[in-house]
Structure 1
Amino acid sequence: MSKNALPATQILPSPVLLVEDEFPIQERLLKIMRDLGYTTEVIRVAGTLADARRLAAAQRFALALVDLGLPDGNGCDFIAELRQSDPSLSILVISAWSTQETILRALHAGATGYLLKERDDLEVMLSIRSVLRGGAPIDPFIARHILAELPQAKEESADTGPARVVPPSVLTAREAQILALVADGKSNRDIAEHLQISRYTVECHITHIYRKLEVSSRTKAINEGRLRGLLK
Protein backbone atom coordinates (compact mmCIF):
# COMPACT_ATOMS: atom_id res chain seq x y z
CA MET A 1 0.00 0.00 0.00
CA SER A 2 1.23 3.53 -0.81
CA LYS A 3 2.57 5.62 2.06
CA ASN A 4 -0.02 8.21 1.01
CA ALA A 5 -2.92 5.79 1.37
CA LEU A 6 -5.53 6.50 3.96
CA PRO A 7 -5.15 4.71 7.30
CA ALA A 8 -6.41 1.13 7.30
CA THR A 9 -8.76 2.02 10.15
CA GLN A 10 -10.59 4.49 7.92
CA ILE A 11 -13.27 2.98 5.72
CA LEU A 12 -13.02 4.26 2.17
CA PRO A 13 -16.34 5.65 0.89
CA SER A 14 -17.44 3.59 -2.08
CA PRO A 15 -18.42 3.00 -4.79
CA VAL A 16 -16.67 5.74 -6.78
CA LEU A 17 -17.76 7.23 -10.10
CA LEU A 18 -14.97 8.46 -12.40
CA VAL A 19 -16.18 10.59 -15.33
CA GLU A 20 -13.32 11.21 -17.77
CA ASP A 21 -13.18 10.77 -21.53
CA GLU A 22 -9.40 10.56 -22.07
CA PHE A 23 -7.99 7.08 -21.52
CA PRO A 24 -4.53 8.22 -20.25
CA ILE A 25 -6.20 10.43 -17.64
CA GLN A 26 -8.52 7.58 -16.68
CA GLU A 27 -5.51 5.33 -16.10
CA ARG A 28 -3.71 8.03 -14.15
CA LEU A 29 -6.67 8.62 -11.82
CA LEU A 30 -7.27 4.89 -11.36
CA LYS A 31 -3.64 4.48 -10.27
CA ILE A 32 -4.01 7.36 -7.80
CA MET A 33 -7.17 5.78 -6.39
CA ARG A 34 -5.39 2.43 -6.03
CA ASP A 35 -2.56 4.22 -4.20
CA LEU A 36 -5.16 5.61 -1.83
CA GLY A 37 -6.30 2.08 -1.06
CA TYR A 38 -9.22 1.62 -3.45
CA THR A 39 -9.68 -1.49 -5.54
CA THR A 40 -10.73 -1.18 -9.17
CA GLU A 41 -13.82 -3.27 -8.42
CA VAL A 42 -15.46 -0.36 -6.58
CA ILE A 43 -14.69 2.25 -9.25
CA ARG A 44 -17.04 2.78 -12.19
CA VAL A 45 -15.62 4.65 -15.18
CA ALA A 46 -17.66 6.69 -17.68
CA GLY A 47 -16.28 8.39 -20.78
CA THR A 48 -19.42 10.33 -21.65
CA LEU A 49 -22.27 12.07 -19.89
CA ALA A 50 -24.65 9.43 -21.22
CA ASP A 51 -22.59 6.64 -19.65
CA ALA A 52 -22.26 8.59 -16.40
CA ARG A 53 -26.01 9.10 -16.20
CA ARG A 54 -26.66 5.41 -16.80
CA LEU A 55 -24.26 4.45 -14.02
CA ALA A 56 -25.70 7.03 -11.62
CA ALA A 57 -29.22 5.79 -12.31
CA ALA A 58 -28.19 2.21 -11.58
CA GLN A 59 -26.55 2.75 -8.20
CA ARG A 60 -25.75 5.30 -5.50
CA PHE A 61 -22.16 6.58 -5.33
CA ALA A 62 -20.18 7.87 -2.35
CA LEU A 63 -17.63 9.87 -4.36
CA ALA A 64 -17.55 11.28 -7.89
CA LEU A 65 -14.52 12.57 -9.80
CA VAL A 66 -15.86 14.56 -12.74
CA ASP A 67 -14.27 16.15 -15.81
CA LEU A 68 -16.13 19.03 -17.45
CA GLY A 69 -15.14 18.85 -21.10
CA LEU A 70 -16.93 15.69 -22.20
CA PRO A 71 -17.77 14.58 -25.77
CA ASP A 72 -21.53 14.92 -25.30
CA GLY A 73 -21.80 17.95 -23.02
CA ASN A 74 -20.61 19.90 -20.01
CA GLY A 75 -19.99 18.05 -16.76
CA CYS A 76 -21.57 20.89 -14.79
CA ASP A 77 -25.02 19.71 -15.82
CA PHE A 78 -24.26 16.24 -14.51
CA ILE A 79 -22.87 17.65 -11.26
CA ALA A 80 -26.16 19.47 -10.68
CA GLU A 81 -28.06 16.24 -11.28
CA LEU A 82 -25.85 14.33 -8.85
CA ARG A 83 -26.21 17.01 -6.19
CA GLN A 84 -29.98 17.10 -6.55
CA SER A 85 -30.29 13.33 -6.16
CA ASP A 86 -27.81 13.10 -3.28
CA PRO A 87 -26.98 16.29 -1.31
CA SER A 88 -24.34 14.43 0.72
CA LEU A 89 -22.32 13.16 -2.25
CA SER A 90 -18.69 14.31 -2.47
CA ILE A 91 -17.93 15.63 -5.97
CA LEU A 92 -14.44 16.67 -7.03
CA VAL A 93 -13.94 18.33 -10.42
CA ILE A 94 -10.64 17.46 -12.11
CA SER A 95 -10.51 19.55 -15.26
CA ALA A 96 -8.25 21.52 -17.60
CA TRP A 97 -10.77 24.36 -17.68
CA SER A 98 -9.85 27.31 -15.45
CA THR A 99 -11.91 30.39 -16.39
CA GLN A 100 -13.81 32.06 -13.59
CA GLU A 101 -17.18 31.51 -15.28
CA THR A 102 -16.63 27.75 -15.59
CA ILE A 103 -15.26 27.36 -12.08
CA LEU A 104 -18.13 29.24 -10.47
CA ARG A 105 -20.67 27.36 -12.58
CA ALA A 106 -19.26 24.03 -11.37
CA LEU A 107 -19.23 25.15 -7.73
CA HIS A 108 -22.76 26.56 -7.98
CA ALA A 109 -23.87 23.27 -9.55
CA GLY A 110 -22.71 21.48 -6.42
CA ALA A 111 -19.05 20.53 -6.84
CA THR A 112 -17.31 19.98 -3.51
CA GLY A 113 -13.89 20.94 -4.85
CA TYR A 114 -12.08 21.90 -8.06
CA LEU A 115 -8.64 20.82 -9.22
CA LEU A 116 -6.71 21.38 -12.45
CA LYS A 117 -5.48 18.34 -14.38
CA GLU A 118 -1.99 19.80 -14.64
CA ARG A 119 -1.33 19.10 -10.95
CA ASP A 120 1.01 16.22 -10.22
CA ASP A 121 -0.18 12.90 -8.83
CA LEU A 122 0.62 13.80 -5.22
CA GLU A 123 -1.42 17.01 -5.41
CA VAL A 124 -4.35 15.14 -6.95
CA MET A 125 -4.10 12.46 -4.28
CA LEU A 126 -4.04 15.04 -1.48
CA SER A 127 -7.11 16.77 -2.91
CA ILE A 128 -9.01 13.48 -3.07
CA ARG A 129 -7.96 12.70 0.50
CA SER A 130 -9.22 16.13 1.55
CA VAL A 131 -12.62 15.47 -0.03
CA LEU A 132 -12.82 12.06 1.64
CA ARG A 133 -12.17 13.73 4.98
CA GLY A 134 -14.91 16.30 4.45
CA GLY A 135 -12.80 19.07 2.95
CA ALA A 136 -13.48 21.28 -0.08
CA PRO A 137 -10.15 21.63 -1.92
CA ILE A 138 -9.76 24.41 -4.47
CA ASP A 139 -6.76 24.47 -6.80
CA PRO A 140 -4.31 27.22 -5.69
CA PHE A 141 -4.29 28.79 -9.17
CA ILE A 142 -8.08 28.95 -9.16
CA ALA A 143 -8.21 30.42 -5.66
CA ARG A 144 -5.76 33.17 -6.63
CA HIS A 145 -7.67 33.82 -9.85
CA ILE A 146 -11.00 34.21 -8.09
CA LEU A 147 -9.56 36.37 -5.31
CA ALA A 148 -7.89 38.62 -7.88
CA GLU A 149 -11.24 39.17 -9.60
CA LEU A 150 -13.27 39.85 -6.48
CA PRO A 151 -12.45 43.59 -6.03
CA GLN A 152 -13.19 44.26 -9.71
CA ALA A 153 -16.36 42.19 -9.57
CA LYS A 154 -17.61 44.06 -6.50
CA GLU A 155 -16.87 47.44 -8.09
CA GLU A 156 -18.62 46.54 -11.32
CA SER A 157 -21.56 45.09 -9.42
CA ALA A 158 -22.00 48.36 -7.53
CA ASP A 159 -21.69 50.50 -10.66
CA THR A 160 -23.44 48.50 -13.35
CA GLY A 161 -25.24 45.60 -11.72
CA PRO A 162 -24.10 42.00 -12.26
CA ALA A 163 -20.36 41.65 -12.82
CA ARG A 164 -19.36 40.84 -16.36
CA VAL A 165 -17.45 37.66 -17.16
CA VAL A 166 -13.84 38.33 -18.06
CA PRO A 167 -13.10 36.68 -21.43
CA PRO A 168 -10.37 34.04 -21.59
CA SER A 169 -6.85 35.32 -22.22
CA VAL A 170 -5.54 35.08 -25.77
CA LEU A 171 -2.58 32.82 -26.46
CA THR A 172 0.95 34.13 -26.34
CA ALA A 173 3.02 34.05 -29.53
CA ARG A 174 4.81 30.89 -28.35
CA GLU A 175 1.54 29.18 -27.38
CA ALA A 176 0.04 30.04 -30.77
CA GLN A 177 3.15 28.63 -32.44
CA ILE A 178 2.89 25.39 -30.47
CA LEU A 179 -0.83 25.10 -31.18
CA ALA A 180 -0.09 25.39 -34.90
CA LEU A 181 2.49 22.60 -34.61
CA VAL A 182 -0.03 20.47 -32.70
CA ALA A 183 -2.50 21.07 -35.53
CA ASP A 184 0.18 19.85 -37.96
CA GLY A 185 0.14 16.54 -36.11
CA LYS A 186 3.48 16.89 -34.36
CA SER A 187 4.06 15.13 -31.03
CA ASN A 188 5.44 16.88 -27.96
CA ARG A 189 8.85 15.38 -28.72
CA ASP A 190 8.70 16.64 -32.31
CA ILE A 191 7.71 20.12 -31.14
CA ALA A 192 10.52 20.20 -28.59
CA GLU A 193 13.09 19.25 -31.24
CA HIS A 194 11.65 21.70 -33.77
CA LEU A 195 11.71 24.65 -31.34
CA GLN A 196 14.88 23.48 -29.54
CA ILE A 197 13.24 23.57 -26.13
CA SER A 198 12.67 20.85 -23.56
CA ARG A 199 9.74 18.46 -23.77
CA TYR A 200 8.71 19.59 -20.27
CA THR A 201 8.48 23.20 -21.52
CA VAL A 202 6.30 22.05 -24.41
CA GLU A 203 4.00 20.20 -22.00
CA CYS A 204 3.71 23.32 -19.82
CA HIS A 205 2.78 25.45 -22.84
CA ILE A 206 0.17 22.90 -23.93
CA THR A 207 -1.31 22.90 -20.43
CA HIS A 208 -1.63 26.69 -20.62
CA ILE A 209 -3.24 26.39 -24.05
CA TYR A 210 -5.80 23.92 -22.68
CA ARG A 211 -6.54 26.25 -19.78
CA LYS A 212 -7.03 29.35 -21.92
CA LEU A 213 -9.13 27.61 -24.55
CA GLU A 214 -11.10 25.65 -21.93
CA VAL A 215 -10.39 22.29 -23.53
CA SER A 216 -8.96 19.00 -22.32
CA SER A 217 -7.40 17.37 -25.37
CA ARG A 218 -5.31 18.11 -28.45
CA THR A 219 -8.24 17.58 -30.80
CA LYS A 220 -10.44 19.92 -28.83
CA ALA A 221 -7.66 22.53 -28.70
CA ILE A 222 -7.30 22.40 -32.49
CA ASN A 223 -11.05 22.72 -33.04
CA GLU A 224 -11.35 25.59 -30.57
CA GLY A 225 -8.30 27.29 -32.09
CA ARG A 226 -9.94 27.19 -35.49
CA LEU A 227 -13.25 28.48 -34.13
CA ARG A 228 -11.43 31.43 -32.57
CA GLY A 229 -9.40 32.16 -35.68
CA LEU A 230 -6.12 31.20 -34.00
CA LEU A 231 -5.31 28.65 -36.70
CA LYS A 232 -5.29 29.19 -40.44
Structure 2
Amino acid sequence: MTQIYPEPLEGAEVLTPHDDYTDNGFEMFSNPPSMWPSFLVGQRDKPVRTIVIDDDIHFVNVLLQELALDERIQVVGRALNFKDGKRLVRSADFDVLIIDLNLTDRSGDQLLELATAQKPGSHAIVCTAADQEQLVRQAFDLGASGYLLKHSWFGNYAQSILQVANGGAAITPHLVKRLLRRAEPAPDADLSIVTVPRVSAEQLSSREREVLRMVANGNTSAQIAAHLQISHMTVNTHIRNTYRKLQVRSRAQAVQSAMVRGLI
Protein backbone atom coordinates (compact mmCIF):
# COMPACT_ATOMS: atom_id res chain seq x y z
CA MET A 1 0.00 0.00 0.00
CA THR A 2 1.27 3.43 -0.95
CA GLN A 3 0.57 6.38 1.29
CA ILE A 4 1.44 9.97 0.43
CA TYR A 5 1.03 12.52 3.20
CA PRO A 6 0.09 16.06 2.16
CA GLU A 7 0.83 17.44 5.61
CA PRO A 8 3.51 16.78 8.25
CA LEU A 9 2.75 13.86 10.57
CA GLU A 10 1.35 14.78 13.95
CA GLY A 11 3.44 14.54 17.06
CA ALA A 12 6.09 17.21 16.59
CA GLU A 13 6.86 19.21 19.66
CA VAL A 14 6.51 22.91 18.93
CA LEU A 15 8.76 25.31 20.80
CA THR A 16 7.52 28.65 22.01
CA PRO A 17 8.35 31.71 19.86
CA HIS A 18 10.73 32.92 22.52
CA ASP A 19 12.84 29.76 22.16
CA ASP A 20 12.77 29.54 18.38
CA TYR A 21 15.92 31.50 17.59
CA THR A 22 19.18 32.52 19.13
CA ASP A 23 20.90 35.77 18.29
CA ASN A 24 23.47 34.15 15.99
CA GLY A 25 21.12 32.62 13.40
CA PHE A 26 20.70 29.20 15.01
CA GLU A 27 17.23 27.77 15.45
CA MET A 28 16.59 25.72 18.57
CA PHE A 29 14.94 22.29 18.61
CA SER A 30 14.06 19.86 21.36
CA ASN A 31 15.88 16.91 19.77
CA PRO A 32 19.51 16.67 18.61
CA PRO A 33 21.20 18.38 17.00
CA SER A 34 19.25 20.95 18.99
CA MET A 35 21.09 24.00 17.60
CA TRP A 36 20.44 24.10 13.86
CA PRO A 37 21.92 26.86 11.65
CA SER A 38 19.43 28.69 9.47
CA PHE A 39 21.55 28.15 6.32
CA LEU A 40 21.28 24.34 6.45
CA VAL A 41 18.65 22.25 4.70
CA GLY A 42 15.83 21.33 7.06
CA GLN A 43 13.96 24.20 8.68
CA ARG A 44 10.53 24.52 10.24
CA ASP A 45 9.15 26.31 7.21
CA LYS A 46 10.86 23.96 4.73
CA PRO A 47 11.46 20.51 6.23
CA VAL A 48 13.32 17.66 4.55
CA ARG A 49 10.70 15.71 2.59
CA THR A 50 11.19 12.01 3.24
CA ILE A 51 9.67 8.79 1.91
CA VAL A 52 10.01 5.30 3.39
CA ILE A 53 9.92 1.99 1.49
CA ASP A 54 10.04 -1.05 3.75
CA ASP A 55 7.88 -4.16 4.19
CA ASP A 56 8.47 -4.41 7.96
CA ILE A 57 5.34 -2.62 9.19
CA HIS A 58 6.45 -2.65 12.83
CA PHE A 59 9.78 -1.04 12.00
CA VAL A 60 8.09 1.50 9.72
CA ASN A 61 5.64 2.54 12.44
CA VAL A 62 8.42 3.01 14.99
CA LEU A 63 10.49 4.93 12.45
CA LEU A 64 7.59 7.23 11.53
CA GLN A 65 6.92 7.96 15.19
CA GLU A 66 10.56 8.94 15.68
CA LEU A 67 10.66 11.17 12.61
CA ALA A 68 7.39 12.85 13.56
CA LEU A 69 9.13 14.31 16.62
CA ASP A 70 11.52 16.38 14.50
CA GLU A 71 10.04 19.47 12.85
CA ARG A 72 12.90 19.60 10.38
CA ILE A 73 11.64 16.43 8.69
CA GLN A 74 8.35 15.79 6.91
CA VAL A 75 7.40 12.25 5.91
CA VAL A 76 5.49 12.65 2.65
CA GLY A 77 4.87 8.99 1.82
CA ARG A 78 5.49 5.33 2.56
CA ALA A 79 5.22 2.03 0.69
CA LEU A 80 5.31 -1.55 1.95
CA ASN A 81 6.36 -3.40 -1.21
CA PHE A 82 8.23 -3.02 -4.50
CA LYS A 83 5.21 -2.24 -6.68
CA ASP A 84 3.91 0.53 -4.45
CA GLY A 85 7.46 1.75 -3.83
CA LYS A 86 8.01 2.20 -7.56
CA ARG A 87 4.81 4.22 -7.81
CA LEU A 88 5.81 6.31 -4.80
CA VAL A 89 9.28 7.12 -6.15
CA ARG A 90 7.75 8.29 -9.40
CA SER A 91 4.90 10.35 -7.91
CA ALA A 92 6.22 11.87 -4.69
CA ASP A 93 8.34 14.98 -4.33
CA PHE A 94 11.01 14.00 -1.84
CA ASP A 95 14.50 14.92 -0.69
CA VAL A 96 15.50 11.70 1.11
CA LEU A 97 14.50 8.08 0.51
CA ILE A 98 14.81 5.50 3.30
CA ILE A 99 14.67 2.00 1.85
CA ASP A 100 15.28 -1.63 2.74
CA LEU A 101 16.70 -3.30 -0.37
CA ASN A 102 15.56 -6.74 0.86
CA LEU A 103 11.83 -6.46 0.07
CA THR A 104 9.75 -9.64 0.17
CA ASP A 105 8.32 -9.29 -3.35
CA ARG A 106 11.49 -8.07 -5.09
CA SER A 107 14.92 -6.54 -4.50
CA GLY A 108 14.88 -2.81 -3.87
CA ASP A 109 18.02 -2.23 -5.97
CA GLN A 110 15.94 -1.10 -8.93
CA LEU A 111 14.05 1.40 -6.77
CA LEU A 112 17.33 2.89 -5.58
CA GLU A 113 18.52 3.23 -9.19
CA LEU A 114 15.14 4.69 -10.18
CA ALA A 115 15.32 7.31 -7.43
CA THR A 116 18.85 8.26 -8.47
CA ALA A 117 17.79 8.61 -12.11
CA GLN A 118 14.42 10.33 -11.72
CA LYS A 119 15.17 12.48 -8.67
CA PRO A 120 18.85 13.40 -9.14
CA GLY A 121 18.71 15.99 -6.36
CA SER A 122 17.51 13.46 -3.80
CA HIS A 123 19.50 11.26 -1.42
CA ALA A 124 18.98 7.68 -0.28
CA ILE A 125 19.65 5.84 2.96
CA VAL A 126 19.58 2.05 2.94
CA CYS A 127 18.19 0.74 6.20
CA THR A 128 18.42 -3.03 6.58
CA ALA A 129 19.33 -5.93 8.84
CA ALA A 130 22.06 -7.18 6.49
CA ASP A 131 25.57 -6.09 7.44
CA GLN A 132 27.74 -7.86 4.85
CA GLU A 133 30.45 -5.59 3.46
CA GLN A 134 29.61 -6.47 -0.15
CA LEU A 135 26.03 -5.27 0.35
CA VAL A 136 27.25 -2.01 1.86
CA ARG A 137 29.55 -1.40 -1.10
CA GLN A 138 26.80 -2.37 -3.53
CA ALA A 139 24.41 0.14 -1.97
CA PHE A 140 26.94 2.97 -2.33
CA ASP A 141 27.65 1.87 -5.91
CA LEU A 142 23.94 2.27 -6.62
CA GLY A 143 24.03 5.84 -5.34
CA ALA A 144 23.11 5.56 -1.66
CA SER A 145 24.45 8.20 0.72
CA GLY A 146 23.89 6.13 3.86
CA TYR A 147 23.73 2.57 5.17
CA LEU A 148 22.16 1.96 8.59
CA LEU A 149 21.49 -1.29 10.42
CA LYS A 150 17.96 -1.72 11.71
CA HIS A 151 17.31 -1.85 15.44
CA SER A 152 20.78 -0.52 16.24
CA TRP A 153 20.16 3.05 15.14
CA PHE A 154 16.88 4.10 16.78
CA GLY A 155 17.04 7.66 18.03
CA ASN A 156 19.46 8.64 15.26
CA TYR A 157 17.44 8.33 12.05
CA ALA A 158 16.44 11.99 12.05
CA GLN A 159 20.09 13.04 12.38
CA SER A 160 21.03 10.73 9.51
CA ILE A 161 18.37 12.25 7.27
CA LEU A 162 19.52 15.78 8.06
CA GLN A 163 23.13 14.75 7.45
CA VAL A 164 22.59 13.31 3.96
CA ALA A 165 20.14 16.08 3.00
CA ASN A 166 23.00 18.52 3.57
CA GLY A 167 25.45 16.59 1.42
CA GLY A 168 26.95 14.32 4.04
CA ALA A 169 26.94 10.55 4.51
CA ALA A 170 25.51 8.32 7.21
CA ILE A 171 26.72 4.82 8.07
CA THR A 172 26.47 2.67 11.17
CA PRO A 173 29.82 3.26 12.96
CA HIS A 174 31.02 -0.33 13.33
CA LEU A 175 30.49 -0.89 9.59
CA VAL A 176 32.95 1.92 8.86
CA LYS A 177 35.65 0.14 10.89
CA ARG A 178 34.98 -3.14 9.12
CA LEU A 179 35.15 -1.53 5.69
CA LEU A 180 38.40 0.24 6.49
CA ARG A 181 39.98 -2.92 7.93
CA ARG A 182 38.95 -4.86 4.83
CA ALA A 183 40.54 -2.18 2.64
CA GLU A 184 43.91 -2.49 4.38
CA PRO A 185 46.40 -4.88 2.70
CA ALA A 186 47.49 -7.95 4.61
CA PRO A 187 50.89 -7.62 6.36
CA ASP A 188 52.45 -10.18 3.98
CA ALA A 189 50.70 -8.94 0.83
CA ASP A 190 52.80 -8.38 -2.28
CA LEU A 191 51.78 -4.83 -3.17
CA SER A 192 53.63 -5.07 -6.46
CA ILE A 193 50.84 -7.20 -7.91
CA VAL A 194 47.93 -5.05 -6.77
CA THR A 195 45.76 -4.38 -9.81
CA VAL A 196 43.41 -1.76 -8.33
CA PRO A 197 43.77 1.46 -10.37
CA ARG A 198 45.82 3.98 -8.45
CA VAL A 199 45.05 7.67 -8.22
CA SER A 200 48.03 9.74 -7.21
CA ALA A 201 47.77 12.61 -4.77
CA GLU A 202 48.91 14.93 -7.54
CA GLN A 203 45.71 14.18 -9.47
CA LEU A 204 43.69 15.73 -6.67
CA SER A 205 44.44 19.35 -5.94
CA SER A 206 45.30 20.40 -2.39
CA ARG A 207 41.93 22.14 -2.13
CA GLU A 208 40.08 19.05 -3.36
CA ARG A 209 41.85 16.91 -0.74
CA GLU A 210 41.06 19.51 1.91
CA VAL A 211 37.38 19.48 0.95
CA LEU A 212 37.33 15.66 0.98
CA ARG A 213 38.88 15.59 4.45
CA MET A 214 36.13 17.89 5.70
CA VAL A 215 33.47 15.73 4.04
CA ALA A 216 34.99 12.68 5.76
CA ASN A 217 34.68 14.51 9.09
CA GLY A 218 30.95 14.94 8.51
CA ASN A 219 30.88 18.57 7.35
CA THR A 220 28.16 19.68 4.94
CA SER A 221 28.84 21.76 1.84
CA ALA A 222 27.58 24.86 3.61
CA GLN A 223 29.85 24.27 6.60
CA ILE A 224 32.84 23.65 4.33
CA ALA A 225 32.10 26.84 2.39
CA ALA A 226 31.92 28.88 5.59
CA HIS A 227 35.14 27.39 6.98
CA LEU A 228 37.13 27.84 3.77
CA GLN A 229 35.49 31.18 2.97
CA ILE A 230 34.45 30.08 -0.51
CA SER A 231 31.03 29.78 -2.12
CA HIS A 232 28.73 26.79 -1.74
CA MET A 233 28.91 26.35 -5.53
CA THR A 234 32.72 26.22 -5.45
CA VAL A 235 32.62 23.50 -2.81
CA ASN A 236 30.27 21.41 -4.95
CA THR A 237 32.52 21.95 -7.96
CA HIS A 238 35.50 20.57 -6.03
CA ILE A 239 33.41 17.58 -4.94
CA ARG A 240 32.25 16.87 -8.50
CA ASN A 241 35.88 17.00 -9.65
CA THR A 242 36.81 14.37 -7.08
CA TYR A 243 33.93 12.19 -8.31
CA ARG A 244 35.33 12.35 -11.83
CA LYS A 245 38.95 11.73 -10.83
CA LEU A 246 38.16 8.91 -8.41
CA GLN A 247 35.46 7.46 -10.68
CA VAL A 248 32.75 7.42 -8.01
CA ARG A 249 29.17 8.63 -7.78
CA SER A 250 28.62 9.72 -4.16
CA ARG A 251 30.38 11.46 -1.30
CA ALA A 252 30.56 8.26 0.70
CA GLN A 253 32.26 6.50 -2.22
CA ALA A 254 34.66 9.43 -2.70
CA VAL A 255 35.71 9.38 0.96
CA GLN A 256 36.12 5.61 0.97
CA SER A 257 38.13 5.63 -2.26
CA ALA A 258 40.36 8.48 -1.09
CA MET A 259 41.04 6.72 2.24
CA VAL A 260 41.95 3.45 0.53
CA ARG A 261 44.39 5.29 -1.75
CA GLY A 262 45.90 7.32 1.08
CA LEU A 263 44.81 10.65 -0.39
CA ILE A 264 43.22 11.97 2.82
Please, what TM-score do these two structures have when normalized by structure 1?
0.60
Tell me the residue number matched to 2:105: 72
How has the CA–CA distance of structure 1 residues 118 and 33 changed in structure 2, closer, same or farther, with 3 Å as cutoff?
Answer: same
Distance in 2, matches of 1:85 and 1:24, equals 29
Q: CA separation in 2, counterparts of 1:98 and 1:156?
A: 29
d(CA) in 1 for partners of 2:152, 2:165: 18
Equivalent residue runs for 1:183-194 within 5 Å: none
1:12 matched residue in structure 2: 47
**2: CA distance, partners of 1:20 / 1:102:** 17
Which residue in 2 is equivalent to 1:54? 87
Matched residue of 1:129: which SS? helix
Structure 1 Cα separation of the partners of residues 101 and 77 of structure 2: 17
Partner Cα distance (2:59, 2:181) in 1:
30
How many positions carry a matched residue from both structures?
A: 160
> Secondary structure of 1:122's match?
coil
User: Deviation at 1:8?
Assistant: 10
1:126 paired with 2:153, answer no
d(CA) in 2 for partners of 1:156 and 1:115?
34
**Which one of the candidate residues 11, 17, 29 is aligned to 2:63?**
29
Look up the SS of the partner of 1:36 in the other structure.
Answer: coil
Q: Which string of whole-angstrom CA distances, capped at 9 and with x for unpartnered residues, describes residues 81-124 of structure 1? A: 11011221011111111111111111010101111113242222
2:125 paired with 1:100: no
Give the drift of 1:38.
6.5
Of 27, 30, 33, the residue aligned with 1:3 is 30
- 1:56–1:20 distance in 2 versus 1, CA, 3 Å: same
The structure that is helix-richer by fraction is 1
TM-score, normalised by the number of residues in structure 2: 0.54
Structure 1 residues 112, 144: closer, same or farther in 2, change over 3 A? Answer: same
AA at the equivalent of 1:25:
F
Decide whether aligned partners of structure 1 residues 36 and 87 sit closer, same or farther in structure 2, where only a CA change above 3 A counts: same
CA drift of 1:39 comes to: 7.9
Distance change in 2, residues 1:150/1:30 (3 Å): same
CA distance in 1, matches of 2:192, 2:80: 42
The residue that corresponds to 2:16 in the other structure is none
The letter for the 1-side match of 2:83 is A
Instruction: Mark the CA change 1:32 to 1:157 in structure 2 (over 3 Å): closer, same or farther.
Output: farther
Q: Provide closer, same or farther for how the CA distance between residues 47 and 13 of structure 1 changes in structure 2, counting only shifts above 3 A.
A: same
**Structure 2 residue corresponding to 1:150, chosen from 183, 194, 217:** 183
| Post-superposition CA distance 1:157-209 (Å, at most 9, x none) | 964757xxxxxxxxxxxxxxxxxxxxxxxxxxxxxxxxxxxxxxxxxxxxxxx
Instruction: Please state how far the C-alpha of 1:145 moved relative to its aligned partner.
Output: 1.0
How many percent of aligned residue pairs carry the same amino acid? 23
1:116 aligns with 2:149: yes
CA contact (8 A) 1:76 1:105 kept: no
Deviation at residue 61 of structure 1 after TM alignment:
2.0
* RMSD after superposition: 2.8
